[in-house]
Amino acid sequence: MKQLSLGYSPCPNDTFIFYALVHGKIDTGGHSFNEELLDVETLNQKALNAELDVTKISYAAYGRLRDNYTLLRSGGAVGRGCGPLIVAKRNYSLEQLRNRRIAIPGRLTTAFLLLRLYDPEFARFVEMPFHKIMDAVASEEVDAGLIIHESRFTYPSYRLKKIMDLGEWWERETGLPIPLGGIIARRSLGESVIKQIGVLIKQSVEYAFSNPTVPMAYIKKHSQELSDDVINQHIDLYVNDFSIDLGEEGEKAVREFIKRAEDSGIIPKSHMPVFT
């Protein structure tokens, strides 16, 4: 039996996707997975240090990881109407926010890369865990926040206002869905093992779609602050056909995202292919 380290977030979409894989609901063909549930920016940093065999990462970070990792086609978050939001307590214009403090969930996140692609003039950033951003904005510790995950559904309860939807901007700009997070595997595992892992993750997603109530206790264990309604909205928004397989459109979106980041000089160009 080959033991593999597996990193993903405690967010409902990830616990929904990986439940079957880590709980023996599918035949793993002799592989076992030791999961680490961490916020996505911590996972990005661990991947930079090549600490995990398989992990969820921001697509923004993948541009820096291609030497050591290859991208899998299943298990990620790509979609429409699901991008990061800029929120604030006051009705700022985007121009007014250029020189104000904006809380971000990490410099390797897709959200931050989208913000820089939209307008490189934004300059004052405060990094913090994504779940602390809305409190910081509401208390005016910062002037605005770049929010992700379930914050998309809960920011009105903090009396915050949506200033911009960066996902909507990306979709208008490119006509493509927004690639938020993907699953990568260490290249040193070898082509055969990597292919097996890709198949297993796809089967785990398909199991969750076929048995949506079975993972719920596991999901709630790691999202204790979320209501059932928010959990279901979160899964419905971030888990879709692209999570089963990127397909042609999803692959095109990922390539375009990384190309724009490289062309803008935000991430270094790599000699390694995006997909292998």
Q: What residues are labeled active site? A: 149
Closest CA to 60 of 270, 263, 262: 262
Backbone angles phi, psi at 145, to 5 degrees: -140, 145
Count of CB atoms within 10 A of residue 100's CB? 15
Beta bridge partners of 31: 2
Q: Residues 243, 74: contact at Cβ < 8 Å?
A: yes
Please name the amino acid found at residue 245.
D
Q: Which two tokens stand for residue 17?
A: 């996707």
In this structure, the chain runs to a length of 276
CA angle (4, 7, 9) in 5-degree steps: 155
Beta bridge partners of 3: 32
Q: Residues 103, 137: contact at Cβ < 8 Å?
A: yes
Q: How far apart are CA 225 and CA 131, in angstroms?
A: 11
Q: Residues 122, 97: contact at Cβ < 8 Å?
A: yes
